[in-house]
Chains A and B, each alone.
Chain A
Amino acid sequence: MRISNRERIPMVLRALAAASIIAAASMVSSANASPPGNAAPAFAEVSTAGKQVSLADFKGKTIVLEWTNNGCPFVQKHYNSKNMQNTQAAAATDGVVWLSVISSKPGSQGHVSAEQADKLTADRGAKPTHVLLDPDGSMGRAYGARTTPHMYIITPDGKVAYNGAIDSIQSSKVDDIPKAKNFVAAALANLKTGKAPDPAATVPYGCDVKY
């Protein structure tokens, strides 16, 4: 007999080396955006009530996702002025589900326990349906959330309808709120009358999400 794998292996090695270059070259980082019209990425995160909350739970309802971080000055702008609470309350009146999402990693700004999150909600008079805790950032990355705040609206059939900023003036100043167009309120109003949000995609502004 003649087992020839000794001779063959260097050749195999060379083939492997060539293949490894190709494999390495094809490794490019992917980026998510969740543009309007796309199916909303599925998620299942634990709420501050300790319950698993998933996209499928709200089939048939309009959902607003709000990325938030209580230490971020841009979030404070919209909470101190009650702009966010008012938008939430108006949405709730129309039966819209409002999910506030915290994607700050442990130890970073905005990372809070369930109790702290509930206290923040109570203290600020906020009206989210649930506050979701996403400390590993999986939900944030799936949606491509960039800033706090970063807002999404999902239609009852599970499609992204709006993705972007809370309003039209990119600043950290409360004074700008009355002058700005509230994109989320406008999009919800459009959806209510069966029209598509306009604009459906804007550039969000704020602090970076603390992944």
Chain B
Amino acid sequence: MSRLAARLAGLVVFLVAAVGLTLPAAAQATAGSPHAEGTILLERSAATPGDSFLGALRLKMAPGWHVYWINPGDSGLPPTATWASSPEVEAGAFQFPTPHAIPLATLMNYGYEGELVLPFEVKIAQEAAVGAPLTIGATFDYLICADICIPEAVTLSMSLPIAAVVSSDDLASKIIAETLSSIPVALTGQAVVERSGEMFKVGVIDDSLASAVASAKSVRFFPYGAEIFHAAPQVVRNGLDGVSVEVKANTMFAKPGDNALTGIIGIETADGKTRGWEVEAAPGAVPASVATTLFSAVASAEAAPILPIDQLLVALGLAFLGGLVLNLMPCVLPVLTIKAASLVHAAHDPKELRAHGLAYLAGVVLCFAVIGAILVGLKAAGDTSVGLGFQLQYSWVTAVFALVMFAVGLNMLGVFEMGGSLMGVGGRLADRGGATGAFFTGLLAAFVGAPCVGPFMATAVGAAMTQPPPIVLGIFIMIGLGLAAPFVILSFTPAFARVLPKPGKWMITFKQALSFPMFLTALWLLWVLSAQAGADGVIWALGGAIALSFGIWLATRVGGSAAGRALSTAVIVAAFAVPVFGTISPPASAAAVVTASTWSPERIAELKAEGRVIFVDFTARWCVTCQVNKGAMHDAAVQQTFADLNVAFLEADWTNKDSVIFEELKRHGAGGVPLYLVYPASGGEPRKFDGLLSAGQIQQAVKEAAGSI
């Protein structure tokens, strides 16, 4: 909500509060602050001497604003009361309801939005005189926050008649009773906690909790203290006997050996209310009976209602339609040209055509089923951030597919033939190769097509994702059927073959022309890759493409022998491994804590004057040894040593001609790169290194230079 809207809403709350004041008061007193309206509620409209009952502060907050639990999380403060009541009135501490988790950027708060009812106990002294009304009042301070935080306060006061018999305020009693269901209850069972390094695993054995969790929307451990990272994801499991929560320890407050944990297990029920169980977890083994299933899987299957049959049929129909239209989407169209080529090729033989159609269908449907199954699996594993097209979010998958597209393009261009046909082996094998090809085409079309489904039929798939796994799979299979339908129908239409020109040389030209959409698809994937893995990733993929071409060429030359086949196959597999390796290992600079700055003789003079250890890397892009040595320099231990010893890390890049660098190289007796200089902190001439460096050597050298060895 925008800030303006929030302010307007605050104004409305205030006006409502103002009007409320003019109404005849029941047993309550109300006042407004800029973003909330506060009211005192009492269970009694008249109390007796010695009576004890519940009162509450009710805060109605402007939309988008929240106040805090007793432990506010990463920031914030809980509400407080400064009492100003008659001496005969004693009010107890707030009983905080189970809070909600309120995430804020990378931080996490625990608190309440909308309306909060904070009960407290009220005791009337025996000395109170019947007939003399008492005052209950306080100033309630609360920090209220949206994107900004404001300390606000209301001062409330009300008169409580003292009578011979109690009379209750039914409305106030009802409101207080409702909030009592959200106040954390004591465990009837027991709680244990296992600490393993940076993780706590809390296990709670309790029957009422076990049954409540089964229908809960969310489950969370809220600590009373600071022992955990509030914003870290919590892994919740449950079982017949209770629930377990794994959560990351904040080692600043949870020292090694601090193995107990206190807080509450809070759940959110389907209607948005909260319930809590107080947990005092002592060190102990978490029993398996509280951790049999991942919680989110249970919740998604049980919390979301299964679609009624008519809506389910509509969803399935929409999915089919979505798949059908997918054939026209720009990301699938190029792949379909492969299919078109094979269709034309097989059109003269109705039997072969039908076999191709079915194999293609199997490929498409299998791929969508697998994607659906992986999504279901990831969701069950607690990853709610996955959607359609997730497969291309992994840079190495993108790289591999760029290579596949490239290979398919080469094949269509006629650089090599698939299967056994080139070998001139019998027709049956060729047929099989063709059907395999059709199957593979289907897989490919589905794989690259799936990212396009997202925007196109997001609502249908979105609804599907809240459904049990079989329905999710059904939806995905329907998309696959829709995608495959046009070609399958064509394959089973004998009339189709008759409208095509007779097989001939034109087919080869046609097929070759269709290779260019393949290359364009590869280009598109490389473009995606460039955004995921940068220029280096693209270079790795292009390197893979060259290796792949080499393997294919090798196969066409020496593929006749078993050894030749083995060799070419090894090269092709290696070709795919190249970009996978290159893009999956994170860029070295990401881990670097001390990045190199540019070398110059002046900079050296300055740093020497400061008495710092200096490490200079004379390098060039085209120097392979230099790149290998970069790995040693970016080693985490080396970087830490650099940081610890305040080493100045300079780089002289000789990729392009540079006379100043060349003079320096010559001065140190080196004709080229790599050259590494380590200047001691005590001044004087640097130590020289060339050739291959190890991380240990670098650490040793800088430590010696710092005089710390």
Contacts and interface: CB of A to CB of B under 8 A. Distances in A.
Interface of A: 1-10, 12-14, 16-17, 20-21, 23-25, 27-29, 31, 33-36, 39, 41-42, 56, 59, 71-74, 108-109, 141, 146-147, 158, 163, 170-173, 201, 203-211
A31 to B, nearest CB: 4
B276 to A, nearest CB: 21
- Most B Cβ at <10 Å: residue of A1, A23, A146, A147: A1
A3 B143 contact: no
Contacts of B250: 31, 33
B555 to A, nearest CB: 5
B2 interface: no
A161 B313 CA distance: 64
- Most B Cβ at <10 Å: residue of A5, A12, A205, A210: A5
B175 interface: no
Contact of A31 (B150, B229, B594): B229
A12 B74 contact: no
A208 B252 CA distance: 19
A208 B107 contact: yes
Interface of B: 74-77, 80, 104-107, 109, 141, 143, 145, 147-151, 226, 229, 231-233, 248, 250-253, 370, 374, 377-378, 381, 383, 386, 390-391, 394, 396-397, 400, 404, 407, 416-420, 422-423, 433, 436-437, 439-440, 443, 447, 552, 555-556, 558-560, 564-565, 568-569, 572-573, 576, 593-594, 640, 643-644, 646
B386 A171 contact: no
Nearest to B556: A1
14 contacts: A1-B555, A2-B559, A3-B417, A9-B404, A12-B576, A16-B396, A24-B383, A25-B381, A25-B383, A59-B646, A73-B150, A158-B644, A207-B149, A208-B75
Given A73-B150, A141-B106, A147-B75, 14 more contacts: A2-B423, A6-B436, A9-B440, A9-B443, A16-B391, A17-B374, A25-B381, A34-B252, A73-B143, A170-B77, A204-B75, A207-B76, A208-B149, A210-B105
Contacts of A207: 75-76, 145, 148-149
A2 B381 contact: no
B374 A203 contact: no
B234 to A, nearest CB: 11
Contact of A209 (B107, B370, B374, B640): B107
A129 to B, nearest CB: 19
A7 B418 CA distance: 10
Contacts of B145: 207-208
A3 B390 CA distance: 30
Main secondary structure of the interface of B (DSSP, over half): mixed
A146 B560 contact: no
B75 A146 contact: yes
B77 A205 contact: yes
Given A2-B423, A4-B569, A158-B644, A71 B447 contact: no
A12 B383 contact: no
B381 A5 contact: no
Contact of B148 (A13, A71, A147): A71
A207 B145 CA distance: 8
Given A9-B404, A31-B248, A3 B559 contact: yes
A119 B404 CA distance: 60
A29 B149 contact: no
Contacts of A13: 370, 443, 447
Contact of A42 (B407, B417, B437, B594): B594
Contact of A21 (B106, B378, B416): B378
A205 B646 contact: no
Given A1-B423, A21-B374, A211-B105, A35 B440 contact: no
Contacts of B77: 170-172, 205
Given A5-B572, A71-B148, A209-B107, A29 B232 contact: yes
A202 B269 CA distance: 34
A109 B555 contact: no
Nearest to B72: A205
